[in-house]
Amino acid sequence: MTTRTLPNPGFGTFRLEGETLRQSVHAALDLGYRHIDTAQMYGNEAEVGQAIADSGVPREEVFLTTKVWHDRLQPGDLEASVEESLERLGTGYVDLLLIHWPSPGDEVPMADYLRALQSVQRAGKARNIGVSNFTRAQLDQAVEILGEGALLTHQIEVHPFLQNRPLIEHCERHGIAVTAFMPLAVGKVMEDDTLVRIARAHDASPAQIALAWLNQQGIVAIPSSTKAHNIRSNLAAFELTLDDEEMQAIAALDRGERIADPDFAPDWD
């Protein structure tokens, strides 16, 4: 599965703010990350933009992702919300613009907001577009509306305890790269006996094993951390290689444990 222009790994900024965010983004960029992920809903776009500007890394070397929240999907409002995001980020374009969640209850027709998303791309304000948290049925609908090849990625929850295989295979059939959020299951990977055992064999951490497992499947991960040591070790995870037996042992950990499941989420298929 190709990831075109999507650098792996990315650095997630959910729940980061203020000086903690600034130091974390600077540490990530200093260590070599070139993909920074934010969203309107995170409330930190201005701080993310400032941290990138202050980092000394040229803007054109940073792959910057943001996302449109589900209350701004009406055509006209979506475009206005993107202008606001760009102003906060201090940039004329983002490298990737995602629909953060499908419209709850299809309040806004998908064709309306996806065509608005595409118009933002055609205006040069988003180099690539994609979706997040769509079901298989919704992904089919999106491809039908925009055509094959229009969507760069589908950002979904993937970690050893929610492996989302049917949805990942669906993305692969459409040639859409998968980006995994919450790849460390908000720290739960650190306590799993199987991951701890495999980590010992590689002189690594369970978090590194979870990231290596994703990488070997061609999945882009966007781990988040506030500690420079963890930001560095997350990057080093992409140099690890797991054997078939280890990959199979991790595959057996899937228990459908979904962490991101708000009341406005779609009916997962």
Q: 199-248: per-residue pLDDT in tens?
A: 999 999 999 999 999 999 999 999 999 999 999 999 999 999 999 999 99
Instruction: Assign 5 a pLDDT band (cuts: 50, 70, 90).
Output: confident
Residue 192 has pLDDT above 90, yes or no: yes
192 assigned to some structural domain: no
Region 45-64: mean pLDDT is 97
240 assigned to some structural domain: no
Region 102-106: mean pLDDT is 97
Tokens describing residue 177: 């790269």
244 assigned to some structural domain: no
Range of the domain at 121: 11-185+218-226
249 assigned to some structural domain: no
Percent of the chain clearing pLDDT 70 (strictly above): 99
Residue 2 has pLDDT above 60, yes or no: no
162 assigned to some structural domain: yes
268 assigned to some structural domain: no
Residue 93 known to be catalytic? no
Residue 106 has pLDDT above 60, yes or no: yes
Number of domains in the chain: 1
Single out the catalytic residue among 33, 42, 93, 113: 42
Residue 60 C-beta-side C-alpha neighbours within 13 Å: 0
Res 4: pLDDT: 56
203 assigned to some structural domain: no
> What rounded mean pLDDT belongs to the chain?
97
Percent of the chain clearing pLDDT 90 (strictly above): 98
CATH no. for residue 50? 3.20.20.100
Quote the CA–CA distance of 224 and 231 in Å, as a whole number: 8
206 assigned to some structural domain: no
**Binding residue per annotation — 100?**
yes
Sign for the CA dihedral angle at 55, 95, 6, 178 comes to positive
